[in-house]
Structure 1
Amino acid sequence: MTARTYGGVSAEERRAQRRAALLEAALEIIGGQGLDKLTVAGLCARAGLNERYYYEQFDSRDAVLIALLDGMAEELAAAIVDALRTAPTDTRGMSEAAVRAGIEVLTDDPRKARVALILSAATPELRSRTLATIRAFANLVAAQGVDFLAIGSDRPDPAIAFRATYLVGGLVQVLAGWLHGDLPLTRDELIAHTTDVFVLLGEDLARRSG
């Protein structure tokens, strides 16, 4: 049976719109009120949808949280890759573009950083997913660094993976402290200091590998 199209919008597009509305509602509730305020009824009321549409998309609250975390990770990755395409072609320019893009995604909309921090420790599965996301971003940093710094070797240098993981994991902790008010820096200062560390470790690694 062919799904109907209403007003030029297909059934698949309508499902995608409802999913986006539910995730936006989850972001609003968790970011503004906390995770314990997230209920099916409250989520559907915020999204303006009947509860049956919730069950069309998700089979549990954890499924909502995972989708929300994964969506933010995808947005971060896309922003960083896009920024690198037009970044100045020097070490500092590339590092600053990537750092700024990531930090701006999480801080232009304050809900996103709060929700990312809340979800990162909410359940064992979300903690595991957060660690996997950090590894994925560390792999992205390592790959970009190897290509840009022209680090070549017959065998992968474990120092590359170590430094990339250190940078990404450290940035997560620094950003958490900054958001909690523990670091008296402006956002531009945070970006500048983070860029300094990325450049320092990257250029030092290139010298060691040269």
Structure 2
Amino acid sequence: MKPAILAAALLAAAFIVPAGAQAPPEAEQCATCHGAEGRSETPNVPSLAGMPAEFITLQMILFREGLRDAPPMPQFAQGLSDAQIEQIAAFYASLPPGPAPDRGPRDVALAERGAALSARMHCGVCHLPDFRGRAQMPRLAGQREDFLAQTLKEYRDNRRVGTDTQMNAVMYGVSDADIAALAHFLAQRD
């Protein structure tokens, strides 16, 4: 990532609108995939409710600047001002998080395996022990299980990179079965 763009994204994130903001007009389009209350019912599309505003701001700027490709997001981000992006981020950050509407039943053995893997991999260091995320680290608790599994595989397979390569290194060599356990454990967290 170009240092100037990263610096601009982080600077923009510092001026986030306070929590409790009203839904900006642009959020109507977001709701189509991410859910009216920020909880996605769309397969492989993340829930945004309760996501850290800085994380959403950074991702939207990466989409807008063509540094991250996850169709149709780059197209939607085109032409948005920093202020519009900050309003969208503040709105979704202010929504109460919760499980994805189609979250399945908890598989106790799979969740326990995922918890052990998460502890061994130190996921709670960056995403916090309750997995609510912070700053540029996304909320994982209650996220869509299919989205988590897909994203973790993309990091492992070097098909997705963030603003640094930390997640690629963390996921290197992790099996599909372990990814399934991690995704299930995190999706079942509230």
TM-score normalised by the chain length of structure 1: 0.28
Q: Where is the helix percentage greater, Structure 1 or Structure 2? A: 1
TM-score (norm 2): 0.30
Compare relative contact order (CA 8 Å, sep 6+) and give the higher one, 1 or 2: 2
